[in-house]
Copies of this chain bind each other. A is one copy, B any other.
């Protein structure tokens, strides 16, 4: 009962991993990428996505994602191209630089996970992932509000 509750532990582990991600992205030259940019990098389709969809998927407001997008556009990571079928809409698409950054992030994450597996066993890390995914599925369904 003197155990620290799981949620803060999960949160701290996530924080440490995200900090490592951005430290290494910085070292590889993607120095302007910040955690907040994740709502685009994580959810954007390879063919590009609409702002509304990114907002929906990430759970943030359209305004918040719009700001991130404007920032990433100024930095050359994404471009906005008008949708030919819908004059209101714009497609947000990764530039080549953006795709490289996204690939670097994916690689770094997989390296972190591989390092964990080497330290503590493939089995254990696989089960960590499985358990977290099970819990997430249950919790996401539990409170759809």
Contact = CB atoms under 8 A, between A and B. Distances in A.
Interface of A: 1, 3, 5-14, 16-21, 23, 38, 42, 106, 109-110, 112-113, 116, 119-120, 124-125, 127-129, 131-136, 138-140, 143
Given A5-B106, A5-B113, A109-B6, A16 B127 contact: no
Q: How many copies does the complex hold?
A: 2
Contact of A128 (B112, B131, B140): B131
B38 A8 contact: yes
A20 to B, nearest CB: 7
Given A12-B136, A124-B131, 16 more contacts: A1-B110, A5-B109, A5-B113, A6-B109, A6-B113, A6-B132, A7-B13, A7-B17, A7-B112, A8-B14, A10-B14, A11-B14, A13-B136, A16-B139, A19-B143, A120-B138
Interface SS of A by simple majority: helix
Given A7-B14, A38-B8, A129-B9, A134 B113 contact: no
Interface centre among A14, A38, A136, A143, by most chain B C-beta atoms within 10 angstroms, is A14
